[in-house]
Amino acid sequence: MELFGIFFAAFLINNILLIRFIALCSFFGVSTKIDTSVGMSLAVIFVMTISSAVSWLIFHAILVPFHLEFLRTATFILTIAALVQLEELYLKKMIPTLYRAMGIYLPLITTNCAILAVAFLAIDYRYNFVQSMVYSLGVSCGYSLAIILFAYIRERMALAPIPKWFQGYPIAFITAALMSLAFLGFTGMFGL
């Protein structure tokens, strides 16, 4: 039940894109088409879960014993960058179809702030290993939900008669703001 709570808190109530406003660059960048947003979502779910697990291990196994908690930014960036590279190499060899489906998004994700944020937040919340895994899964699913919904709306908007001065990013920002307001409605669900 506690894990369930963690998952839904990350998934809906504290949605990383619409409530925390983290990783907005990819939110606006790859949401013009449903296909690309699905590919990006899959890649984010994959990378975020693995990278937060590895970051958690490195933080608790290396940085805490040496009292080097202040080094976590540098360490996590190093870890995530190396990990994404490794995953890319692995996928290319072992699962070429998956690599082709999300290959171009993997390098993009290396510098995605959401991945780093989740690694930090899982430690700030003092989650144990299982909890932090569930948390990062929840966050990445929340990311997917928000970006795919947004892509559906943007595809419809591309055909809508929008005034010239609102076309493109202005209307996208307004839409994102409205979606964010809608997601505020989840506050208080499950007593969270």
Residues that bind other proteins (CB under 8 A): 58, 62-63, 66-68, 71, 74-75, 78-79, 82, 85-86, 89-90, 92-94
Rank residues 42 and 54 by Cβ distance to other proteins and give the closer one: 54
The nearer residue to other proteins, 1 or 94, going by C-beta atoms, is 94
Q: Which amino acid is at 160?
A: A
CA distance 136 to 33: 25
- The 3-state DSSP composition of the chain as helix, strand, coil percent (nearest 5) reads 80, 0, 20
Dig out the tokens for 146 from the structure.
């928000």
CB-nearer residue toward other proteins: 63 or 106: 63
d(CA 121, CA 22): 12
First-to-last C-alpha distance (Å) of the chain = 12
Rounded to whole angstroms, the Cα distance separating 130 from 53 reads 9
| Nearest partner of 23 among 90, 86, 105, 79, judged by Cα | 105
CB of 101 to other proteins, least distance (A): 11
CB of 68 to other proteins, least distance (A): 5
**Shortest distance, CB of residue 58 to other proteins, whole angstroms?**
7
Q: Which CB, 73 or 187, lies closer to other proteins? A: 73
- For the bound state, the minimum distance from the C-beta of residue 86 to other proteins, rounded and expressed in Å, comes to 5
Task: Give the separation between CA 45 and CA 163, rounded to whole angstroms.
Answer: 36
Nearer to other proteins, 80 or 147 (CB): 80
